[in-house]
Amino acid sequence: MKRHAALALACAAAIVWSAAHGQAQPPVFKTGALTVSVNAAVKRGNRVIANLTAKDFRLTDNGVEQKIEAVSIESVPVDVSLFLDTSGSTAGKLDDMKRDVQGIVKMLRPGDRFRLLTIGDSVDEPVHWVPAGTAVNLSFGAVGGISLVHDALVLALMHRPEADRRHLVVGMTDRRDCGSVVSSAQLRELAARSEAVLHLVDQSGSGGDVAYRIRTCSPRGRVDGPDIIADAAARTGGMLHDPSYFFGSSVLRAFRTIFEEFRQSYVLRYSPSGVARGGWHAIVVQVPSTSGVTIRARHGYFD
């Protein structure tokens, strides 16, 4: 027993010494209760299902049912990142897009914030975070050839809103990437871990005259890239929208629908129990009490 005590003392002394001299990396422990928030949009057809309570939901974390502590239709402010694909392939809609951006800014509510991302030779941010109602000056143009869709979406997703805010990313794009640093596979993985909800409005077939065609892309593309991008949106709890649904592919109409649905989505909060910490946690959300509904929620999170 004495030998064990001496060994423990020696170890303790060694830990204190090494900590004091900075010669060893301190071990990292995950402490404290983890609270997970999950956006869940519940609809029957195109109609949002309202008035659900915690008892109506069933949520599993890595297959283990969790106790939902709070359910709310959030009235908290929203950070909106709008990405307009201003590459040559969508240049035909540029004027419409600019007009609609002004409408989008007007649509936001007090407390919301907005920023705009576009594609040039790099991913540009012609409008940095501005409060709702701010008049924005739009002077961007189309750039032919290069089309940094992955990079733009990653930049959009890599924003951590303050604790009492939510983050909605809406991308208006034909999903045809050309020249991004981030691969489509990386984007999909990254979206799965993102705290934002990503919606895409398909802008395929909206190409037009491009004034500047001297640019082009790098040789690393994937034929299934567009599908992977759509899958990335699904992993955040968002989806790819068919523009014909919005009667004339108006950005404004598309955004209004997405934004309203996002604001009316439920936020489920729970503290994981009965599951091992660390790694990927697959989430499944169901509403057993109501039949015929569709639920969109993030597919999981990394602890």
Partner 1 sequence: MACQQPGGIIHRLKRRPVFMRISVAGPRAAAIGILLLSTLTDFEPAAIAQVRRLEVAAALDAYAQGRYDEALAPVRYLSRDASRDFRQQLVLRGVQWVDAPAADRPRRVLAAAAFALEFERMRAERGEWQAGGEQDCAGRCVIEWACTLLQSRGAADDAEHVWMLASMALAHGARDWSFLQTPIAAPSDRTVQTGHVHHALARFPDDPRFRLARAIALASRNAVTDERDAPRAGDRAMPTPTGAIVIGPDFLNSMMQRNRTRLGDYVRQELESLTADESVGSEARVRLGYLHWVRGDEHDALVVEAAAADAAKEPDVRYVANFLAAQAAQALGDLSAAETRYRAALSARPYSQSATLGLAALLYLRGEAREAYEIVAAAQSNLPRDDDPWRMFLYGDFPKLPALVAELRKRVTP
Torsion of Cα atoms, 282 then 283 then 288 then 293, to 10° = -110
Shortest approach of partner 1 to residue 292 CB, angstroms?
36
Residues that contact partner 1, how many (by CB under 8 A): 34
Q: Which of 155, 201, 234, 295 binds partner 1 (CB under 8 A)?
A: 155
Shortest approach of partner 1 to residue 242 CB, angstroms?
24
Q: Which of 210, 258, 268, 283 binds partner 1 (CB under 8 A)?
A: 210
Q: Which of 7, 73, 211, 276 binds partner 1 (CB under 8 A)?
A: 211
Angle in degrees, CA 261, 299, 171, rounded to 5: 50
Q: Does residue 215 belong to the site contacting partner 1 (CB under 8 A)?
A: yes
Q: Which of 158, 208, 245, 248 binds partner 1 (CB under 8 A)?
A: 158
Binding mask 117-146 for partner 1 (x = CB under 8 A): ----xxx-x--x---------------x-x
Nearer to partner 1, 6 or 211 (CB): 211
Shortest approach of partner 1 to residue 155 CB, angstroms?
6
Binding mask 172-201 for partner 1 (x = CB under 8 A): -------x-xx---x--xx--x--------
Q: Does residue 163 belong to the site contacting partner 1 (CB under 8 A)?
A: no
Q: Which of 14, 17, 220, 290 binds partner 1 (CB under 8 A)?
A: 220
Q: Does residue 151 belong to the site contacting partner 1 (CB under 8 A)?
A: yes
Shortest approach of partner 1 to residue 285 CB, angstroms?
23
Q: Does residue 26 belong to the site contacting partner 1 (CB under 8 A)?
A: no
Nearer to partner 1, 184 or 250 (CB): 184
Q: What are phi and psi of 128, to 5 degrees?
A: -80, 170
Q: Does residue 28 belong to the site contacting partner 1 (CB under 8 A)?
A: no
Q: What would the 3-class secondary structure string for the chain be? A: CHHHHHHHHHHHHHHHHHHHHCCCCCCCCCCCCCCEEEEEEEEECCEECCCCCHHHCEEEECCEECCCCEEEECCCCEEEEEEECCEHHHHHHHHHHHHHHHHHHHHCCCCCEEEEEEECCCEEEEEEEEECCCCCCCCCCCECCCECHHHHHHHHHCCCCCCCCEEEEEEEECCCCECCCCCHHHHHHHHHHCCCEEEEEECCCCCCCCCCCCCCCCCCCCCCHHHHHHHHHHHHCCCEECHHHHCCCCHHHHHHHHHHHHHCCEEEEECCCCCCCCCEEEEEEECCCCCCCEEEECCEEEC
Q: Does residue 36 belong to the site contacting partner 1 (CB under 8 A)?
A: no
Angle in degrees, CA 258, 259, 265, rounded to 5: 85
Q: Does residue 165 belong to the site contacting partner 1 (CB under 8 A)?
A: no
Q: Which of 132, 212, 257, 287 binds partner 1 (CB under 8 A)?
A: 212
Instruction: Determine the interface stretch with partner 1 among 14-22, 94-102, 153-161, 164-172 (rule: CB under 8 A).
Output: 153-161
Binding residues for partner 1, rule: CB under 8 A, are 121-123, 125, 128, 144, 146, 151, 154-155, 158-160, 179, 181-182, 186, 189-190, 193, 210-221, 223, 302
